[in-house]
Structure 1
Amino acid sequence: MDGSQFPAGYDPRAFPAVAVTVDVVALTIRQGALQVLLVERGEQPYAGRWALPGGFIRPGEDLPEAAARELAEETGLTPRAHIEQLASYGAPERDPRMRIVSVSYLAFAPDLPDPRPGTDAADAAWHRADRLPELAFDHGRILGHGLERARDKLEYTPLATTFVGETFTISELRGVYEAVWGLPLHAGNFHRKVLSVPGFVESTGETTESGGARGGPRARLYRAGDAKLLHPALLRPAREEEVR
């Protein structure tokens, strides 16, 4: 049965029309800060307001495909690392055009380049997660949920390794945690905790070419290990106090 045929007695016009969109919370770390990709809407509703990249799904298109396509079309970026479904949003009046349900996605990648706006966006730019403008629709709520998901996942999954390159130092990995969590971490304690988690990172046997600007010893290089979950988890300092 193709999409133009329906069972006997079934009339799809008897039901209220509902559209489905995808919206993408794309995160990266630039200049040591967690940044969110936003597009300036070029059309109504909310023309001129910043929003998450996204749009309507196409016939025959699966949701993850739509999320990747919208991200590429509106910004010129294709996620190179990790993308996952975040949540669904279907409040009756969340969009003034009609009843629209949004399925949101969360994307992570290291140091992504400057985006370029697509045909239906006036502009596209990275915004620091702690300096965000007021967003269109309910995108502020979606973004808030995406940020909290990212902060939580850093505790119990190796997600942080998707924000760095193929090889990295423990200091660079700590910078990811500090940027996403928004707080400084003790270097020695962090180093010890990371190396105590089986499968989180593995040594490459190599070091950096230099000791950095201060001329210290060369740092060891690591790559992501094969762990899917971190045990023990790397809890945020506030949660460590709660556990104690």
Structure 2
Amino acid sequence: MSRIEQKFAQLNEQGKKALIPYITGGDPEPGYTVGFMHALVEAGADMIELGIPFSDPMADGEVIQKAHERSLAAGTTLEGILEMVAEFRQTNQDTPVVLMGYLNPIEYMGYANFAQKAKTAGVDGLLTVDLPPEEADDVVPLLKEAGIDTIFLIAPTTTPARAAKIASHASGYLYYVSIKGVTGSATLDTQAVAEKTAELRQLTSVPVAVGFGIRDGASAAAISQVSDGAIVGSVLVNKIAALAQTPEQIPAALAETLNEMRTAMDA
């Protein structure tokens, strides 16, 4: 079993749902990211999605776009992101880490090269926003050989036939995008999410985690009732942006937000 599979199995035994925070690696500067990751785990994170900064993050709203800009301006690279994961693994061997981003930096590094470097660093999963299932056969076997799960997005507008095709390639978990639009936009419709996750569970045994629109304990708890996990990003990245000039205050701010969600979900 992969680290992600083990974590979901453990949570299932405990009657809990996964809390999966997202932060952009290298924001506001590369030297702070590992500390942020440890703070998230201490506050109740079950897994971490670590964003790979990219110059054209088309699926993201303004909040995360600016985080990518800050990270790139600070000199963050894909190599640097892998070094962050390796440093995190020096003291944490249990928390799954999923890299989230866009295909271009990985393609530039080379799929086989990336897979081996990611394995060595301790990466557990890869989610590339712009990798369609039609092109997955170039990447997924290399990642599978390296023990890295390939995580795919499914949107409210995804047709049942395409959802089935995506699910057939997925491992680790499926990321269901709860709203139409970019990250940080719109309002959650929990009933609509419940209907969609029920449909997805007919297609796959892979856990279904839900992201986009989760801002507080109430929304995290509502989503955890109808899915296997809640993914939270923009509200955390906003905290980092607000305190970018005083980064030593960021871990406590992240922990406060995540603690509220963890408490609400567990209740």
TM-score (norm 1): 0.24
| Structure 1 or 2: more strand by fraction | 1
Larger Rg: 1
Greater relative CO, 1 or 2 (CA 8 Å, sep 6+): 2
Give the TM-score normalised by the residue count of structure 2: 0.23
